[in-house]
Amino acid sequence: MEKKIPKNTVKRLSVYLRCLNKLQEDGIENVSSSEFGELIGINPAQIRKDLSYFGEFVRQGLGDNIEKLKNGIKKIIGLNETQNIILIGVGNLGKAILNYNVITKRGFSIIAAFDKDPEMIGKIINNVGVFDIKKIDQFIAGKNIKCAILTLPPDQIRKTIEKLYQLGIKGFLNFAPISLNLSKDIQIVNVDLSSSLEVLMFYLRNNSE
Amino acid sequence: MEKKIPKNTVKRLSVYLRCLNKLQEDGIENVSSSEFGELIGINPAQIRKDLSYFGEFVRQGLGDNIEKLKNGIKKIIGLNETQNIILIGVGNLGKAILNYNVITKRGFSIIAAFDKDPEMIGKIINNVGVFDIKKIDQFIAGKNIKCAILTLPPDQIRKTIEKLYQLGIKGFLNFAPISLNLSKDIQIVNVDLSSSLEVLMFYLRNNSE
DNA sequence: TAGATTGTTAATCGATTAACAATC
DNA sequence: TAGATTGTTAATCGATTAACAATC
């Protein structure tokens, strides 16, 4: 990647993709950046700028085909092909995510879940098998798995990341409320419910914004 | 609020709070901004600047007492007193959140859950009762509830927000992957798993950052 | 007091937006 | 062609960081 992509641009790409899908479902085939911007509440210049970072592939511009644009964004993100992921920790949250079909619709495939609880091992949840965490090495071997969803207790996160990293997995979606200082080589995205609630609370009290 | 608080400052306040709690658990009573910054990987000047927006209350500065600082941040966020919240939609994700005790530890109290499923109504999950969504009006009346967690299917989100807004609830934590253009008066924080996964995927492919 | 650490100003850096020539 | 819409440059706006006098 030649130029540095702003962090917010990446987040917006995801928003664009979702909205383009929606538009396509509604049978719309083209949008201009101004129409699109209007729709999602983002400045049209922002949209054009965001896309220009990857400008090679949509030379015709937004005004043209939604399908083309969608595929372009998918390619940027790496979702032009289905991504295999695994889930570690089949507690309440783990189960909820296994049952959350939106992830699948978006081009991800959870191909296995792992837990240490004998009660859970062997079960099948929404077509995903639960395996013994001890056997994860042999399961992963040879499969193309780039990232893992971690729905484990906080105290097991670090250990698990280190283990999976050795097995070649470098991307993590983490739900535990902890700060980790990890190798630059590891990509981690944190989802923190209490933190989100706190941010919400703040804006509720100071809602001049 | 005199000056405008940067969005990122608010997010960081939440991080600060979590880390201060951690430090306190470890028996530490004071930190300097440089130590603290080192610990959480944030520039000390950034921390001082963030806190200076609310400068009135920690005149002594970070170098002083963690307890004092913690209470200061709690007060800014509005967590100096327990915040009552409700949860709408007791599906898999709803259940997971009800069972997620971290929220409680952080100063929130989920005082009730609501669903329309007769099978669910009347059940108690982790000490939270599940009530008939139709009776929500009378339940809420007179109680001090400022925000709601929405774990409903996407197509029911808008309707539910409008309803709750009329009942005086203006803050929402939303898990459905939709973009809503709502009244400025409403505060909404979105948690979108697929979007988080997409951001993760992007950085995995372009991990020069 | 002397040293450490702050709060805040000024400088830097990055992200957003307006404007417009180039393109379809 | 004329009108619309782009991609990109330049201007603006905001957020981060370095530096330092003021404070404990």
In a domain, residue B29? The reply is: yes
In a domain, residue B206? The reply is: no
Q: Which residues of B touch A102 (CB under 8 A)?
A: 177, 193-194
The residue out of A30, A45, A77 marking a domain boundary is A77
This prediction has a pTM of 0.92
Q: B167 and B68 in one domain? A: no
In a domain, residue A200? The reply is: no
The residue out of A23, A45, A77 marking a domain boundary is A77
In a domain, residue B158? The reply is: yes
Nearest CA distance, B95 vs chain A (angstrom) = 7
What ranges in chain B are assigned the alpha helix state H? 7-25, 33-40, 44-52, 66-77, 92-98, 102-105, 136-140, 157-166, 193-205
Q: Is pLDDT at A42 greater than 60 in this prediction?
A: yes
Q: Is pLDDT at B62 greater than 50 in this prediction?
A: yes
In a domain, residue B209? The reply is: no
Mean pLDDT highest for which of A50-54, A62-66, B3-7? A50-54
Q: B167 and B87 in one domain? A: yes
Q: B92 and B67 in one domain? A: no
Closest C1' nucleotide to A7's CA: C15
The pLDDT value recorded for residue A151 is 97
The better pLDDT of the pair B57, B202 is held by: B202
The pLDDT value recorded for residue A56 is 60
Per residue in A127-142, pLDDT (tens digit) is 999 999 999 999 999 8
Q: A94 and A178 in one domain? A: yes
Per residue in B82-94, pLDDT (tens digit) is 999 999 999 999 9
Q: B121 and B24 in one domain? A: no
Q: Is pLDDT at B139 greater than 90 in this prediction?
A: yes
Q: Which residues of A touch B78 (CB under 8 A)?
A: 201-202, 204-205
The pLDDT value recorded for residue A55 is 73
Q: B68 and B116 in one domain? A: no
The pLDDT value recorded for residue A114 is 98
Q: What's the CATH number where A19 sits?
A: 1.10.10.10
Instruction: Using pLDDT thresholds of 50, 70 and 90, give the confidence band for residue A3.
Output: low
Per residue in B13-59, pLDDT (tens digit) is 999 999 999 999 999 988 889 999 999 999 999 999 999 988 755 55
Please work out, in degrees rounded to the nearest 5, the angle formed at the alpha carbon of residue A96 by the alpha carbons of B126 and A18. 135
**Mean pLDDT along residues A146-171:** 96
Which candidate from B18, B146, B193 shows the least CB-CB separation from A100?
B193
Q: B181 and B159 in one domain? A: yes
Most A CBs within 10 A among B198, B206, B208, B209, hence the mutation to make, goes to B198
Residue A144 contacts residue A178 (beta carbons within 8 Å): no
Q: Which residues of B touch A4 (CB under 8 A)?
A: 209
Sheet-wide strand order for B145-150 = B124-125, B128-132, B108-115, B83-88, B145-150, B171-174, B187-190
The tokens 């419910």 sit on which residue? Answer: A193
Most B CBs within 10 A among A84, A204, A209, hence the mutation to make, goes to A204
The pLDDT value recorded for residue A130 is 98
Mean confidence (pLDDT) of chain A: 91
Q: How many domains does chain B have?
A: 2
- Provide the residue range defining the domain that includes B182: 83-195
Q: A60 and A91 in one domain? A: no
Look up residue B167 and give its two tokens. Answer: 């009942």
Instruction: Find, in chain B, the residue whose alpha carbon is nearest to that of A175.
Output: B193
The pLDDT value recorded for residue A4 is 83
Q: B160 and B87 in one domain? A: yes
Give the whole-number percent of chain B exceeding pLDDT 90.
77
The pLDDT value recorded for residue B65 is 83
Q: B103 and B49 in one domain? A: no
Per residue in A104-135, pLDDT (tens digit) is 999 999 999 999 999 999 999 999 999 999 99
The pLDDT value recorded for residue A30 is 87
In a domain, residue A16? The reply is: yes
Per residue in A167-179, pLDDT (tens digit) is 999 999 999 998 7
If one counts every other C-beta atom within 10 angstroms of the C-beta of residue B167, the result is: 14
Q: Which range (A43-57, A64-78, B60-74, B127-141) has the least confidence?
A: B60-74
Q: How far apart are CA A117 and CA B8, in angstroms?
A: 39
Q: Is pLDDT at B60 greater than 60 in this prediction?
A: no
What is the β-pairing status of strands B124-125 and B128-132? antiparallel
Q: A90 and A156 in one domain? A: yes
The pLDDT value recorded for residue B181 is 77
In a domain, residue B69? The reply is: yes
Q: Is pLDDT at A1 greater than 50 in this prediction?
A: no
Q: B92 and B123 in one domain? A: yes
The residue out of B50, B76, B102 marking a domain boundary is B76
Sign, Cα dihedral of A31, B191, B39, A89: negative
**Mean pLDDT along residues A189-201:** 96
In a domain, residue A205? The reply is: no
Q: Is pLDDT at B64 greater than 50 in this prediction?
A: yes
Cite the beta strand spans of chain A per DSSP E: 83-88, 108-115, 124-125, 128-132, 145-150, 171-174, 187-190
Cβ of B102 within 8 Å of Cβ of A173? The answer is: no
SS3 A24: helix
The pLDDT value recorded for residue B63 is 58
Q: What's the CATH number where A190 sits?
A: 3.40.50.720
**Mean pLDDT along residues A23-47:** 92
Residue A125 contacts residue A98 (beta carbons within 8 Å): yes
